[in-house]
């Protein structure tokens, strides 16, 4: 989506759609061992479509989904696949790394058609995890703040907040109509479907910092936390306003942020390990997001 950032951001000679660079995949994950949920009633008759960005597609989590476009870095152990396996539903996973809301109706790559192409009149369930790439929100905020804070060894102030102020929050506010249009677009194409909007898990610690694992001052860690909670609040509001269910993955992930040890965290730090890419869910994070989605689905009575 077009957007003029010149009024609040220094020019940069880069164009990115992924949040941060991918790292080495080192583990193979067995789907059957991850889930232990009672199948939904008449589950085999349910058609489930998953839409979303890299937090949905499980970028970097092994194994790669064999039928997905290579450009999309989609995992066979992303939370849509885990949910479909656990509940015994038929899945069409259209999620794709780097996707933003425009890619619901526009082809993202030559081998990845608009994600809405996966929807049909007979689709029963749709999950959508989108918004973090609109206005390049996550990548710009993390990279810009990392640059602003990178040399602040003494942990002084909030350099990133001082530079960008409310600019990122303004982007979120301006995206409300976009997210509303995505949800309404799903309803119009799949009118019988239950629609679930999946939020983003906690990336940063709620207090303090973990420099240089994540290169932010304490002040800017709080600044970025507020940015993510504001995004999730916007997604929740638009879900409720448009006859959709919001799936909160943030609350349960507090204490499992990227600053925690590898056995505790659900989101990777800058240097990822154990599957998943930088500042994205690791295999445990994808599993936990899937569990949250499954609980929400069961609560709808499906």
DSSP string, 42-90: TGGG-EEEEEESHHHHTTTPSSBPTTS-GGG--BTTSHHHHHHHHHT-E
Task: From first to last of the 302 residues of the chain, give the pLDDT tens digit.
Answer: 333 333 333 333 333 343 333 333 333 233 333 334 444 445 556 899 999 999 999 999 999 999 999 999 999 999 999 999 999 999 999 999 999 999 999 999 999 999 999 999 999 999 999 999 999 999 999 999 999 998 888 999 999 999 999 999 999 999 999 999 999 999 999 999 999 999 999 999 999 999 999 999 999 999 999 999 999 999 999 999 999 999 999 999 999 999 999 999 999 999 999 999 999 999 999 999 999 999 999 999 87
Q: How many helical (H) and strand (E) elements, i.e. helices and strands, does the chain have? A: 9, 5
Query: Does any domain span residue 20?
Result: no
Nearby residues of 295 by Cβ (< 8 Å), 6 or more positions away: none
Q: What is the domain-level CATH number for residue 175? A: 3.40.50.1110
Query: Does any domain span residue 295?
Result: yes
Query: Does any domain span residue 52?
Result: yes
Q: How far apart are the C-alpha atoms of 92 and 50, rounded to whole Å? A: 6
For the four alpha carbons of 200, 197, 2 and 60, in that order, the dihedral sign comes to positive
Q: Whose CA is closest to 157, among 223, 206, 212?
A: 223
Q: Is 81 one of the catalytic residues?
A: no
Query: Does any domain span residue 28?
Result: no
Do 211 and 262 touch, CB atoms closer than 8 A? no
DSSP helix/strand/coil, 136: helix
Nearby residues of 101 by Cβ (< 8 Å), 6 or more positions away: 1, 130, 131, 134, 175, 178, 179, 181, 182
SS (H, E, C) 189-239: HCCCCEEEEECCCCCCCCCCCCCCCCCCCHHHHHHHHHHHHHHHHHHHHHH
Do 262 and 214 touch, CB atoms closer than 8 A? no
| C-alpha distances out from residue 120 to 50, 156, 191, 276, Å | 12, 53, 9, 31
- For the chain, the domain total comes to 1
Query: Does any domain span residue 31?
Result: no
268: its two tokens: 């990777």
Counting other chains too, the contacts that 176-180 makes at CB distance below 8 Å and 24 or more residues apart are 176/234, 176/237, 176/238, 178/1, 178/101, 178/134, 179/101, 179/130, 179/131, 179/134, 179/234, 179/235, 179/238, 180/238, 180/241, 180/242
Q: Whose CA is closest to 221, among 153, 133, 160?
A: 160
Q: Name the phi and psi angles at 115, rounded to 5.
A: -65, -30
Query: Does any domain span residue 1?
Result: no
Query: Does any domain span residue 7?
Result: no
Per annotation, catalytic residue among 18, 135, 256, 280: 280
| C-alpha distances out from residue 136 to 2, 5, 20, 175, Å | 11, 10, 11, 12
Q: Is 18 one of the catalytic residues?
A: no
Query: Does any domain span residue 124?
Result: yes
The pTM assigned to this predicted structure is 0.86
Per annotation, catalytic residue among 54, 75, 158, 253: 54
Q: Domain limits at 66?
A: 44-299
């Amino acid at each position: 989506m077009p957007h003029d950032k010149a009024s609040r951001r220094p020019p940069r000679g880069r164009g990115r759609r992924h949040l941060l660079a991918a790292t080495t995949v080192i583990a193979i994950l067995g789907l059957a061992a991850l889930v232990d949920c009672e199948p939904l009633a008449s589950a085999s008759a349910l058609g489930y479509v998953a839409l979303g960005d890299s937090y949905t597609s499980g970028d970097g989590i092994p194994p790669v989904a064999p039928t997905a476009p290579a450009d999309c870095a989609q995992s066979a152990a992303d939370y849509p696949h885990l949910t479909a396996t656990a509940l015994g539903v038929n899945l069409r996973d259209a999620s794709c790394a780097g996707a933003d809301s425009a890619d619901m109706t526009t082809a993202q790559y030559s081998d990845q058609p608009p994600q809405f192409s996966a929807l049909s009149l007979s689709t029963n369930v749709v999950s959508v995890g989108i918004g973090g790439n609109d206005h390049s929100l996550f990548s710009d905020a993390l990279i810009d703040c990392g640059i602003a804070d990178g040399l602040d060894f003494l942990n002084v102030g909030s350099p990133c907040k001082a530079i960008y102020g409310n600019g990122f929050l303004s982007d979120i506010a301006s995206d409300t109509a976009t997210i509303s249009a995505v949800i309404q677009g799903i309803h119009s194409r799949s009118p019988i479907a239950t629609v679930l909007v999946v939020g983003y898990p906690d990336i940063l610690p709620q207090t303090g910092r973990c420099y240089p694992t994540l290169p932010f001052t304490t002040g800017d860690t709080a600044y970025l936390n507020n940015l993510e909670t504001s995004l999730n609040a916007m997604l929740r509001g638009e879900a409720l306003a448009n006859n959709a269910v919001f799936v909160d993955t943030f609350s349960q992930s507090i204490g499992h942020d990227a600053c925690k040890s590898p056995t505790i965290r659900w989101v990777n730090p800058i240097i990822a390990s154990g599957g998943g890419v930088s500042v994205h869910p690791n295999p445990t994070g994808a599993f936990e997001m899937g569990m949250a989605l499954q609980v929400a689905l069961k609560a709808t009575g499906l």
